[in-house]
Chain A
Amino acid sequence: MLKQVSRLRVVFEKKGPFKLGELVKGKIILIPEKDVNLKSLGYKINLEIRGLIEFEDYHLSKKNIVEDQTLYKDKEYIYHFEFIYNKYETYKGLNIEILVKVVAFANFLPLIPSESFLDKINVFKSDINNWEDKKYLNFISNAYQYKIITKELELKPHSFSRPYFYSVWIFMMLGFVTSFLGLWDTYKYYLLIAFALGLILILSYYLLTKSIAGKINIQFEEIQDGKFKVKATSSNKWKQVSMISMNYRIIEEVTDNRGTTPYKVKLFKFNSKPQIFKRPNNLVESLFSFPIDEPQTIKFQDVRIYWFLEMEFTSIFGIKFTHGNEFITKKVKR
Chain B
Amino acid sequence: MKNLIQNESINFQYNPFGGLALNEIPKALVPIDHFNQIQANIENEKIKIIELKGKKGRGKSCHLKALQLTNPESAFFQLGQKQTNFEEIINSSKQLLFLDSIHYLNFIQRQKLFKSDHKIILTAHFSRHIEYKLAGAKSSSFNFSGISQDKLAGIIKNRIKIASGFEGPINLDQNVLKNLITKHGDDYRSIINHLYQNFDQC
Residues of A within 8 A of B61 (CB): 258-260
Chain A stretch 111-131: residues in CB contact (< 8 A) with chain B: 123-124
Closest chain B residue, CB of each to CB of A101? B13
B14 touches A99 (CB 8 A): yes
Shortest Cβ distance from B31 into chain A, in angstroms? 12
B14 touches A259 (CB 8 A): no
Please measure, in the bound complex, the distance between the C-alpha atom of A25 and the C-alpha atom of B100, giving whole angstroms.
43
Please measure, in the bound complex, the distance between the C-alpha atom of A53 and the C-alpha atom of B82, giving whole angstroms.
13
B57 touches A259 (CB 8 A): yes
| A17 on interface, CB distance cutoff 8 Å | no
Please measure, in the bound complex, the distance between the C-alpha atom of A278 and the C-alpha atom of B26, giving whole angstroms.
60
A97 touches B18 (CB 8 A): yes
B171-202 near A? 1/0 per residue, CB < 8 Å: 00000000000000000010001001100000
Shortest Cβ distance from A4 into chain B, in angstroms? 15
A52 touches B70 (CB 8 A): no
B69-87 near A? 1/0 per residue, CB < 8 Å: 1101000001011100000
A52 touches B196 (CB 8 A): yes
Residues of A within 8 A of B125 (CB): 260
B103 touches A262 (CB 8 A): no
Please measure, in the bound complex, the distance between the C-alpha atom of A174 and the C-alpha atom of B124, giving whole angstroms.
31
| B48 on interface, CB distance cutoff 8 Å | no
Residues of A within 8 A of B57 (CB): 259
Residues of A within 8 A of B129 (CB): none
Chain B stretch 1-52: residues in CB contact (< 8 A) with chain A: 13-15, 18-22, 24, 26-27
| B140 on interface, CB distance cutoff 8 Å | no
Q: Which of B14, B21, B197 contacts A136 (CB 8 A)?
A: B14
| B123 on interface, CB distance cutoff 8 Å | yes
Interface range on chain A: under 10, 10 to 19, 20 to 34, or 35 or more?
A: 20 to 34
Shortest Cβ distance from B62 into chain A, in angstroms? 8
Residues of A within 8 A of B123 (CB): 260
Closest chain A residue, CB of each to CB of B19? A55
Shortest Cβ distance from A298 into chain B, in angstroms? 17
Q: Is the interface of A mostly helix, strand, loop or mixed?
A: loop
Shortest Cβ distance from B68 into chain A, in angstroms? 10
Chain B stretch 79-105: residues in CB contact (< 8 A) with chain A: 80-82, 100-101, 103
Shortest Cβ distance from A73 into chain B, in angstroms? 25
Given A260-B61, A260-B103, A260-B125, A50-B18 contact (CB < 8 Å):
yes
Q: Give the interface centre of A96, A260, A262 by most chain B CB atoms within 10 Å.
A: A260
Q: Which of B27, B56, B69 contacts A259 (CB 8 A)?
A: B56
A52 touches B82 (CB 8 A): no
A50 touches B19 (CB 8 A): yes
A55 touches B20 (CB 8 A): yes
| A245 on interface, CB distance cutoff 8 Å | no
Closest chain B residue, CB of each to CB of A51? B18
Residues of B within 8 A of A54 (CB): 19
Please measure, in the bound complex, the distance between the C-alpha atom of A261 and the C-alpha atom of B60, giving whole angstroms.
11
A49-61 near B? 1/0 per residue, CB < 8 Å: 0111111010000
Residues of A within 8 A of B81 (CB): 255, 257, 262
Residues of B within 8 A of A51 (CB): 15, 18-19, 196
A123 touches B60 (CB 8 A): no
| A242 on interface, CB distance cutoff 8 Å | no
Residues of A within 8 A of B70 (CB): 123
Residues of B within 8 A of A123 (CB): 69-70, 72
B14 touches A50 (CB 8 A): yes
Please measure, in the bound complex, the distance between the C-alpha atom of A253 and the C-alpha atom of B81, giving whole angstroms.
16
Residues of B within 8 A of A135 (CB): 13
Given A55-B21, A123-B72, A258-B189 contact (CB < 8 Å):
yes
Chain A stretch 133-168: residues in CB contact (< 8 A) with chain B: 135-136
B56 touches A52 (CB 8 A): no
Interface residues of A (CB under 8 A from B): 48, 50-55, 57, 94-97, 99, 123-124, 135-136, 255, 257-262
A-B residue pairs in contact (CB < 8 Å), sample of 13:
A50-B14, A50-B19, A53-B18, A55-B20, A95-B197, A96-B18, A123-B70, A123-B72, A124-B27, A259-B56, A259-B60, A260-B56, A260-B123
Closest 6 CB pairs of A and B: A50-B18, A55-B19, A261-B56, A260-B101, A51-B18, A136-B13
Interface residues of B (CB under 8 A from A): 13-15, 18-22, 24, 26-27, 56-57, 60-61, 69-70, 72, 78, 80-82, 100-101, 103, 123-125, 189, 193, 196-197
- Told that A55-B22, A262-B81 touch, could you supply 18 new A-B pairs with CB distance under 8 A? A50-B15, A52-B18, A52-B193, A52-B196, A52-B197, A95-B196, A97-B18, A99-B13, A123-B69, A123-B70, A136-B14, A257-B82, A258-B19, A260-B56, A260-B80, A260-B100, A260-B124, A262-B80
